[in-house]
């Protein structure tokens, strides 16, 4: 599938370019503009050069301290999320029923949390976790745990993490399930003939085939947990204290709460830059994986007949006999 | 051979984990506030519809749903109509800067909404769209248009190139080919892309809340206002939450087989 070179294709892309440029480039230019200035209200601006950026990266200042602390919290949160959700998602995908109406039922229930507005996710966990009216909070306290996510930082963290696992593990599971579905039956039959253990099947067949979707899952989960805002904001409001204040929450506090445009803009730019870099790394890895797959696919026809004819000769031969 | 030991138990436990909080929300929405606060009951002992009745009769509540639906539908229409030609171009042609453009689109899908909240506020105030559904619809394009391009590109690539060539040989002009032949062929893909645009616009709150004040306030923002102002009207809050889950739950059924590929940006 070689694509033809055609510069006129730009006309087809132009509408997308204009729409996204309108909502991405214009605002970003405003941000760059603000990030170099200071304001004392009344639309009066003063040139500040790179002052905000210096402050941002210096933990001894107020702004820098807040930014670096929230960044650390956020990175820790993303790591915990990935460490829980990716293995759990794989296990869930492997546990999917094989056929029948249960498949559809499981898929629908799995997808349900993904379609709930984010603030309602927060509300659900608020109602579920409160010690006075929530099932989880009430049960935990009745069992003797002193659980209160409003006043205890560790409880707040556990709540936010469990909430995110509840909200997004399904995504990883669905992606892995789609990857597993694309494995041809013949692979499993070959493994069976070779007497491969279940673990060997997972390691040699299922995991490599899930590679690509897992990469996407990790990318999406990292990005979305890195810019998480609504759910923890609704549940904990960033508290107790600042213990669950992530970068987005800090940013909105500075930008829309204090209207401190210069600081907020500088923070936005650094934040965006981090995302852009991670995004670029993933994109490169992804396109490289795609290219490798293409090479593999091209060489596959030569390799393919061997395993299929060697491992399951009967079904492979039958249609030929019928044709002859 | 495909799956792991104890899979039924694992699946059942996980599904219970997913459904329990939702059940609790539904349970709450049918209780009276007195019952919620005073006792711990696993199901409503005095079931009531008062919260739902209030939402459906009070304009400040149900107008939120209408506002939300309005910008979500607008956004879906804009996203799909601009993404279709671009998806075709990315799938069929190579042109100057195509790879960079594709990456740029991806990076916008990943950009944090919090970064754009303030500049969007300024931008849409300046052009007089603030507090209209158009502002939110256009703002949500920043992540929905790239998503739609990615999903549709996958589906267009599934259409054999011979079909284009045959159509052009038969004397179809490009717009006619596009509307009469290509669009019907990838109808299911358009459905999936529309579903995802609908969904991501429906679940987003930060931008929607920042860009509206009175006229176009989405239901999600009305809910947060009630939490802080009225304090403890848990039943009403739960009922409003249940009503926001329903549209998603309804449409899931139609796209259940495409959900994974949609979330994977059409790359499964």
Q: Which residue has the higher pLDDT, A21 or B224?
A: A21
Token readout for B145 is: 């248009």
B239 contacts chain A (CB < 8 A) = no
- Nearest to residue A154, comparing CAs of A162, A166, A164? A162
Residues of B in contact with A283 (CB under 8 A): 103, 106
Q: Which two tokens stand for residue B224?
A: 């947060």
Same domain, B100 and B11: no
A143 vs A28: CA distance, rounded Å:
51
Interface predicted TM-score (ipTM) of this complex, two decimals = 0.84
- B189, B151 in Cβ contact below 8 A? yes
∠A195-A200-A204 over CA atoms, to 5°? 115
Q: What is the pTM of this model?
A: 0.83
CB of B244 within 8 Å of a chain A CB? The answer is yes
Question: B235 with B257, same domain?
Answer: yes
B157 and B232 in one domain?
A: yes
Q: Is B70 exposed, middle or buried (0-12, 13-18, 19+ CB in 10 A)?
A: middle
pLDDT value of position A296: 64
Q: Report the run of H or E that residue B71 belongs to, with start and end.
A: helix B59-92
User: Would you state the structure tokens that stand for residue A163, as one six-digit string?
Assistant: 């909430």
CB A221 within 8 A of CB A86: yes
Among all residues of chain B, which has the CA nearest to that of A30?
Answer: B119
Structure tokens at B263: 């979330």
Nearest to B252 among A115, A192, A255 (CB): A115
Per-residue pLDDT at B19 exceeds 90: yes
Task: Give strand pairing partners of A5.
Answer: B94
Report DSSP letters for B206-242, one per residue.
HHHHHT-SSTT--HHHHHHHHHHHT---HHHHHHHHH
**Phi first, then psi: what are they for B49, rounded to 5°?**
-105, 15
Q: How far apart are CA B124 and CA B141, in angstroms?
A: 14
Q: Which residues of chain B lie closer than 8 angstroms to A279, CB-CB?
A: 103, 106-107, 110
**Span A121-158, pLDDT tens digits:** 988 998 888 888 888 888 888 888 888 888 888 889 99
Are B63 and B25 in the same domain? no
CB–CB contact A275 B112 (8 Å): yes
pLDDT in tens, B113-124: 888 888 888 888
Do B74 and B28 reside in the same domain of the chain? no
Q: A298: distance to nearest CA of chain B, Å?
A: 18
Are A243 and A157 in contact by the 8 Å Cβ rule? The answer is yes
Residues B106, B15, single domain; the answer is no
**Residues contacting residue A306 through CB under 8 Å, at least 6 positions apart:** none
Match 């176009």 to its residue by tokens: B216
Rounded average pLDDT over B40-51? 83
Contact residues, chain A, for B98 at CB < 8 Å: 9
B188-201, pLDDT tens digit by residue? 889 888 888 988 89
Q: Check whether residue B144 and residue B236 sit in a common domain.
A: yes
Whether residues B129 and B177 fall in one domain: yes
- Which residues from B are below 8 Å from A169, CB to CB? 14
Fold of A71-259: MetI-like fold (1.10.3720)
Q: What is the pLDDT of residue A305?
A: 43
Confidence at residue A64, expressed as pLDDT on a 0 to 100 scale? 83
| Distances B160 to A126, B127, B157, B165, B193 between C-alpha atoms, Å | 50, 44, 7, 9, 20
B268 part of a folded domain: no
Do B11 and B64 belong together in one domain? no
Question: Band of the pLDDT at A1, cuts 50, 70, 90?
Answer: low
Average pLDDT over residues B247-262: 78
Res A67: pLDDT: 87
B231 shares its domain with B123: yes
A152: left (phi over 0), alpha (psi -120 to 50) or beta: beta
Would an 8 Å CB–CB cutoff place B13 in contact with chain A? no
Q: Residue B267 and residue A212: Cβ atoms within 8 Å? A: yes
Higher pLDDT, A207 or A294: A207
Helix (H) / strand (E) element for B93: namely: strand B93-94
Does B16 contact A at CB distance below 8 Å?
Answer: no
| Domain extents in chain A | 71-259
Residues 6+ positions from B264 with CB-CB distance below 8 Å: A175, A178, A213, A216, A217
Helix axes B234-255, B187-203, angle to 10 degrees: 160
**Same domain assignment for residues B125 and B172:** yes
- Collect all residues of chain B within an 8 Å Cβ-Cβ radius of residue A92: 10-11, 14
For B1, the token pair is: 């051979």
| Nearest residue on chain A to B112, alpha-carbon basis | A227
Burial of A54 (0-12, 13-18, 19+ CB in 10 A): middle
Residue with tokens 């996958």: B154
**pLDDT score at A319:** 40
How much helix, strand and coil, in percent to the nearest 5, is found in chain B? 75, 0, 25
Please, are residues B256 and A107 in contact by the beta-carbon 8 Å criterion?
Answer: yes
Residue among A20, A91, A286 minimizing CB distance to B145 = A20
> Do B112 and B213 belong to one domain?
yes
Q: How far apart are CA A290 and CA A151, in angstroms?
A: 48
Count of the separate structural domains present in chain B: 2
User: Any CB–CB contact under 8 A between A288 and chain B?
Assistant: no
Q: Decide: helix, strand or coil at residue A47.
A: strand
A321/chain B closest Cα distance in angstroms: 30
Does pLDDT of A172 surpass 60?
A: yes
pLDDT digits (tens, 9 = 90+) for A5-19: 888 888 888 988 898
Domain extent, residue B33, equals 1-48
For residue B16, give every residue at least 6 positions away whose Cβ sits within 8 Å of its Cβ, in sequence order, or none: none
Longest dimension (CA), chain A: 88
């Amino acid at each position: 599938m070689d694509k033809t070179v055609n510069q006129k294709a730009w006309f087809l892309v132009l509408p997308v370019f204009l729409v996204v440029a309108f909502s991405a480039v214009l605002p970003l230019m405003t941000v760059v503009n603000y990030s170099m200035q200071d304001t004392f209200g009344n639309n009066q601006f003063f040139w500040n050069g790179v002052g905000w950026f210096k402050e941002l990266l210096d933990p001894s200042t107020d702004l820098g301290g807040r930014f670096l602390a929230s960044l650390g919290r956020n990175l820790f949160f993303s790591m915990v999320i990935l460490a829980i959700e990716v293995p759990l998602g794989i296990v869930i995908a492997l546990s999917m029923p094989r056929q029948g109406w249960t498949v559809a039922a499981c898929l629908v229930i799995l997808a349900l949390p993904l379609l709930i507005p984010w603030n309602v996710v927060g509300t659900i966990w608020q109602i579920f976790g409160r010690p006075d009216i929530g099932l989880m909070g009430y049960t935990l306290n009745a069992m003797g745990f002193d659980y209160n996510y409003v006043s205890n930082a560790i409880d707040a963290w556990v709540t936010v993490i469990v909430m995110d696992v509840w909200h997004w593990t399904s995504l990883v599971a669905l992606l892995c399930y789609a990857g597993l579905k694309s494995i041809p039956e013949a692979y499993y039959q070959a493994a069976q003939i070779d007497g491969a253990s279940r673990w060997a099947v997972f390691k040699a067949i299922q995991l490599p085939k899930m590679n690509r979707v897992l990469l996407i899952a990790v990318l999406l989960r990292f990005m979305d947990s890195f810019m998480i805002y609504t759910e923890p904001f609704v549940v904990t409001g960033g508290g107790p204290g600042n213990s669950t204040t992530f970068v987005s929450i800090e940013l909105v506090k500075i930008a829309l709460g204090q209207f401190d445009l210069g600081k907020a803009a500088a923070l936005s730019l650094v934040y965006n830059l981090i995302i852009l870099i991670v995004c670029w790394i993933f994109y490169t890895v992804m396109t490289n994986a795609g290219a490798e797959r293409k090479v593999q696919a091209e060489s596959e026809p030569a390799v393919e007949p061997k395993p299929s004819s060697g491992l399951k000769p009967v079904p492979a031969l039958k249609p030929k006999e019928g044709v002859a | 051979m495909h799956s792991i030991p104890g899979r039924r138990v694992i699946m059942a436990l996980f599904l219970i984990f997913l459904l329990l909080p939702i059940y609790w929300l539904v349970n709450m929405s049918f209780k009276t506030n007195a019952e919620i606060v005073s006792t711990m009951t696993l199901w409503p002992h005095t079931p009531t519809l008062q919260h739902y009745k209030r939402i459906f009769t009070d304009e400040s509540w149900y107008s939120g749903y209408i506002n939300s639906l309005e910008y979500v539908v607008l956004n879906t229409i804009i996203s799909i109509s601009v993404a279709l030609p671009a998806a075709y171009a990315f799938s069929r042609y190579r042109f100057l800067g195509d790879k960079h453009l594709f990456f740029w689109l991806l990076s916008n899908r990943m950009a944090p909404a919090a970064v754009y909240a303030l500049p969007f506020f300024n931008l849409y105030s300046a052009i007089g769209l603030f507090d209209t559904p158009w502002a939110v619809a256009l703002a949500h394009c920043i992540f929905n248009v790239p998503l739609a391009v990615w999903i549709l590109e996958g589906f267009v690539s599934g259409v054999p190139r011979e079909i284009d060539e045959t159509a052009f040989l038969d004397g179809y002009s490009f717009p006619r080919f596009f509307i009469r032949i290509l669009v019907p062929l990838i109808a299911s893909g358009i459905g999936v892309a529309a579903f995802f645009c609908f969904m991501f616009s429906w679940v987003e709150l930060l931008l929607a809340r920042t860009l509206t004040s009175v006229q176009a306030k989405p239901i999600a923002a009305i809910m947060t206002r009630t939490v802080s102002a009225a304090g403890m009207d848990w039943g009403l809050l739960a009922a409003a939450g249940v009503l926001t889950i329903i549209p998603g739950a309804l449409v899931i059924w139609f796209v259940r087989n495409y959900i994974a590929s949609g979330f994977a940006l059409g790359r499964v």
